[in-house]
A and B are shown apart, each in its own frame.
Chain A
Amino acid sequence: MTNNLLEATNIHKKYGSHVALNNLSINIPKGCIYGLLGPNGAGKTSFIRILNQITYPDAGTVLFDGEELQPKHIANIGYLPEERGLYKSMKVGEQALYLAQLKGLSKAEAKEKLTYWFDKLEIGDWWNMKIQELSKGMAQKIQFVVTVLHTPKLLIFDEPFSGFDPINANLIKDEILKLKENGATVIFSTHRMESVEELCDEIALINKSNKILDGKLIDVKRQFRSNTYEIALDVKDKGAVYNEIMNSHFKMHEADFRTLGEELKFSIQIDADSSPNELLSFLMNRGTVAHFKELIPSVNDIFIKAVNNHNI
């Protein structure tokens, strides 16, 4: 028994002459939040649609919880597509019941769970309203509820936060984290890198139909670390110290960040095999170290760097 909920191996998908996915292999461990990143048109949605059995791969296999992906697994997957909406002229409650029943819940079960979620998100009064009377954000909440209602093992969110105000986005984020705690595995596709930073345990980066990068977020970050430290040094004679460092073997760069004092600010890149302690003791001999921080690459930086490198 593997620890992966989903194993996609050598997935190949063509639309006419356009290759949407080229030998894509992705493993998604149980109980993690997996970020699926990539520029527009990279193939994320194609992959997600294959997972939802909306389309089928031309080649390759998908294993869900150790079994080959089959129609019965639909009941174990919750999908919130990027292009989403609801029937405008149908009542909220009726509609949610319908969608839940399509996922295989009985009417009574669906009603009970809907009541729970509607109370939790404080949207109980909306039951008899029509979607066209609700705002976009309100409709998004209902879509979220419908997606998670049948407690699926795998949740797929495509741009879940679009259309939400910050308060509601936070609310949904907390719910996603809670779902993870309760054992659900989440695939998360977004362009909002800060939410990836906050939520994801693992990521994969897809560009032009190919996977160019994947792994634990922390490992990916290590892979992209530049061993650069941001430093603020409190010295009397800034010019002299500046020149001294310039002439030392440390590679110094300009840096711009905020501190509370008027220190000399710069950044230094050290060799991968050398210890930052050496740098630190060098600095301590020159003045008071007010700020010392390794520059950890943001997902945003990694995204841009990896995609640009791949495009060359």
Chain B
Amino acid sequence: MNQLLLIVKREYLQKIKNKSFIVMTFLSPLIFTGLIVLVAYLSRINNAEKQVITVLDETGLYISDFKDFENFHFVNTNKEADFSEVVANAISKEEYGVLYIPDEPIAKQKNDVVFYSEDSPGMGVVNYMTGILEDKSFERNLKTDGVSIDEIHKATTTVNIKIENFNGEESSKTANILKLVFGGAAGYFLMMFIIIYGNMIMRSVIEEKTNRIIEIIISSVKPIKLMMGKIIGTSLAGITQFIVWLCIGAVLTIVVSSIFNVDVATIETPHRAMLENSGAMEAMIQDGVVELFKLPLVTLIVCFLLYFIGGYLLYSSVYVSIGAAVDSETDTQQFMMPVIMVLMLAVYIGFFTVINNPNGTVATIFSFIPFTSPIVMLMRIPFGVDLWEIIVSIVLLYITFFGVVWLASKIYRIGILMYGKKPSYKELYKWLKY
């Protein structure tokens, strides 16, 4: 049988049959969903508790304006009540807080409204109260000036700017969000895949070194074959694991969401009523589906595969040479740092520059540099990138990949037979010339 095939098969089977790999494969989706369920459950418990806020409104103008907000319930007291009594009362009843609105002219009042509470209040409720106060005083000011609110409402127009490119293709906010999610997910996924399985390859190289089997093997196989076999075998194991994760994830999502729906139905919450009443949600989903099919899906998938394979192979050959250069995993730190930094750089550039300006200079440049292009370009593609840019970037990526494999195989060839010393970058450079 072909040697490369033998090596790939062994690497793959060894990974797949490894107990911790199996446990990880089946347990992590469970743990992950478990965590999500737990968080959802906890936040619901957190919100289910009714909190009372006493409003001491000395002006008497806002009496009916505070409605229940989230889990907060507003109670108005007599505007003549004594402030300290109200506070004492709130404390004894373990209420959430007291909102004090002094009877002063508006200009002074705006700085004198105080919210008293035991703990610092959540931003949500503070914003809600501020909003109500602002809106209501705005309306009252208009009234005092003799402007009718109805006229204001009539005069107000909501403008929705449509976004189209020069070819007349329409895009919408939903579409932009969708593109962002698509690109971001692809780039992030690639980064995670590189880190997880690059490490796995590195460990398996170190393992062969520490087991001292390496010399036996390379007396029968060319080092580059062994190296490629390891990369391919481990990648296949990685893909297998991801597929299993996706399947389990899908099943769990269905199961969990169905359980949740049941829950939601049995517990009547104001949220549900709100959601049901407003058709906004459904409209958004429909919009999303329409936009999804407008995306260049074929280009996306083909590019994803090309960048995924190229980027992953590029980085895994770097990981292989790191593994070959050191004796134990603890020695890998100094070489791992730059690799992780470049990956992080790519992801951050993707998230910060591509979002603002998908075709800006920075985003464009980094989508050509081979070590960042797989991630950055994957994020750009949903927003529309010229074909020539994609082709140039992919060609650059694959040329670099072959160059890096060539360099990595040199380091690998020397490194796997070096024991007992932690090489410096200078020494690695020397190995390249052996």
Contact = CB atoms under 8 A, between A and B. Distances in A.
Interface in B218-253: 218-223
Nearest to B3: A102
Given A79-B216, A143-B216, A86 B211 contact: yes
Interface string B192-232: 00000000000000011001110111111111000000000
Contacts of B222: 71
Contact of B220 (A16, A87, A89, A102): A102
B1 interface: yes
Given A90-B14, A98-B6, A77 B219 contact: yes
B417 interface: yes
Contacts of A53: 219
B425 interface: no
Contact of B216 (A15, A99, A107): A99
B220 A54 contact: no
Nearest to A150: B220
B197 to A, nearest CB: 19
A89 B212 CA distance: 14
Interface in A168-217: none
B219 A79 contact: yes
Nearest to A71: B222
B9 to A, nearest CB: 9
Contacts of A52: 219
Nearest to B433: A16
Contacts of A107: 1
A53 B413 CA distance: 11
Query: Which one of B223, B413, B417 has the greatest number of beta carbons of chain A within 10 Å?
Result: B417
A99 B217 contact: yes
A85 B1 contact: no
Contacts of B153: none
Interface in A41-98: 49, 52-55, 71, 74, 77, 79-81, 83-90, 98
B93 interface: no
B293 interface: no
Contacts of B219: 52-54, 74, 77, 79, 81
Contacts of B208: 87
Contacts of A74: 219-220
Interface residues of B, number: 27
Given A16-B430, A16-B434, A54-B417, A86 B220 contact: no
The dominant DSSP class at the B interface is helix
Given A15-B434, A16-B430, A87 B211 contact: yes
Nearest to B221: A102
Given A16-B434, A101-B1, A81 B6 contact: no
Nearest to B225: A102
Nearest to B204: A87
B113 to A, nearest CB: 69
Nearest to B222: A71
B110 interface: no
Nearest to B211: A85
Contacts of B73: none
- Which DSSP category, helix, strand, loop or mixed, fits chain A's interface? loop
B419 interface: yes
A225 B434 CA distance: 43
Interface in B70-125: none
A84 B212 contact: yes
B352 to A, nearest CB: 44
A152 to B, nearest CB: 11
Nearest to B1: A101
A33 B426 CA distance: 42
Contacts of B419: 83
Nearest to A74: B220
Nearest to A78: B219
Contact of A84 (B213, B221, B413): B213
Given A71-B222, A98-B6, A102-B3, A88 B216 contact: no
A265 interface: no
A5 interface: no
B211 A103 contact: no
A284 B213 CA distance: 62
B6 A86 contact: no
Contacts of B18: 89
Interface in B165-187: none
19 contacts: A16-B434, A52-B219, A53-B219, A54-B223, A71-B222, A79-B219, A80-B216, A83-B215, A83-B419, A84-B216, A85-B211, A85-B216, A86-B211, A87-B211, A87-B213, A99-B216, A101-B1, A102-B3, A107-B1
Q: For the complex of A and B, list the 3 residue pairs with the smallest distance between their C-beta atoms, beginning with the closest.
A: A85-B212, A81-B215, A79-B219
Given A83-B419, A102-B221, 12 more contacts: A49-B417, A71-B222, A80-B216, A81-B212, A81-B219, A83-B212, A83-B215, A87-B207, A102-B6, A102-B7, A106-B1, A107-B1
